Amino acid sequence: MDAQRALELLHMTVFSQSVSPCGKYLAAGNNYGEIAIFSLSAALSSEAKEESKKPVVSFTGRCLSGAGGE
């Protein structure tokens, strides 16, 4: 992990989160324009390993921020 990413993790603010209708997934968006999807069943399992607590998928929403208004 580079120094910039380490600083981002220390100073991250989650602005939005939502649980899927089925209750299996959590989506969270932060101040860096990143959106991450977590598997709640994997992360909350009594045998959960560190790897299962990481996002199933993540992407940046920055490419969406300029859409439609220019």
Q: What digits encode the pLDDT tens for the residues 9-35? A: 778 888 999 999 999 999 999 988 899
The domain spans of the chain are 10-61
Six-digit token string for 52: 């299962």
CA pair distance 53, 42, nearest whole angstrom: 7
Strand order of the sheet with strand 25-30?
Answer: 14-19, 25-30, 34-39, 57-60
Task: Give the pLDDT score at 4.
Answer: 81
Range 41-46 contact pairs with CB under 8 angstroms and sequence separation of 24 or more: none
pLDDT tens digits, one per residue of 35-58: 999 999 888 888 888 888 889 999
